[in-house]
Amino acid sequence: MKNNLNILYEDNHIIVVIKPYNILSQSDNTNDLDMLTILKKYIKEKYNKPGNVYLGLVHRLDRPTSGIMVFAKTSKSASRLSKQIKDDKFTKKYLAVVYGTLSEKEKLLENYIKKTNDNSSIITTKKDGKYAKLYYKVLKEKDNLSILDITLYTGRHHQIRVQFSNIGHPLYGDQRYGKQDKKQLALFAYHLEFYHPITKEKLVFEYMPKEEIFK
């Protein structure tokens, strides 16, 4: 994995990379490979760092989702990036492919989402769930599929997947909330925008997926 890392940007404070499909953002009880471990090893070897390497996880992508992630190389950077997320100063956009043709070609979706004991999420009430908001625009329709551009305003667990399943248009390849067709989930984080935690410069990263399903 080290030699195949797709690094978009790196300095002393942050590293911006493409997380591949089906790689964890951070380790869990499966002990499968994860981005945090991969990048710590990369930094340790590249800079000949002794001992443990610090790397802060400030946001996540679901395991079956690919796309742009930023990691913090210092605790100060991690704290400042986390505050930006809390203050809604991160802009995150995704490309997704959903089943069917949506009657409304642009729409704001607002729901309340609750994480369940089996690591899934469900649409629930304001009393029980956390507020979830996204905006989508249909880019293309083909073969009873729709390609969407999604701006994510809140980062709830499995948010995009559960919100589109809720309106009857589950994501292509979503084996948890959609069809059991064993295809790769068609969800890619293609745009990430935030302010550098030290220089305060606005940074904008875009990377388009190569898979034919998004064409």
- Looking at the DSSP bridge assignments, the partners of residue 180 are none
- Residues 6 or more apart whose CB falls under 8 angstroms from that of 124 comprise 112, 113, 114
Task: Examine the residue annotation and report whether 62 is marked as an active-site residue of this protein.
Answer: yes
Catalytic residue among 34, 62, 88, 174: 62
Separate counts of helices (H) and strands (E) for the chain: 3, 11
E strands present in the chain:
7-10, 14-19, 56-57, 66-72, 91-99, 106-115, 121-124, 130-142, 145-152, 187-195, 202-206
| Phi-psi map region of 208: left, alpha, beta (phi>0 left; psi -120 to 50 alpha) | beta
Token couple for 156: 């709830």
Which residues are identified as catalytic?
A: 62
